[in-house]
Amino acid sequence: MSKIKCTVLECAYNKDVMCNAPMIQVNHNGVRRSRESAQTQCDTFKPKDL
C-alpha cells in the first residue's frame, strides 16, 4: 500500500502520523463531484478507544 501521511491522530489506524490500515476508502464529502480536497473524506476512520 502507498504511504499515507495522516494527521488525524485520534484514529485507531494512525501510527506516528502515518496511516497503518491495510487499505482505506475515501468518499465524497457531501457533494456529488468533488472539486477540492475538503470535499473528500476517509471513511475508514475509526475512533481510538480512549
8 binds ligand SF4 (CB under 6 A): yes
* Amino acid type, 41: Q
Q: Give the shortest CB-3-to-ligand SF4 separation in angstroms.
A: 11
Strand pairing category for 26-28 and 40-42: antiparallel
Cell numbers placing 33:
463531484
- Could you give the residue ranges of the DSSP H alpha helices within the chain? none
Beta-bridge partners for 27: 41
Binding mask 9-38 for ligand SF4 (x = CB under 6 A): --x-xx----x-x--x--------------
Q: List residues binding ligand SF4 (CB under 6 A).
A: 4, 6, 8, 11, 13-14, 19, 21, 24, 42, 44-45
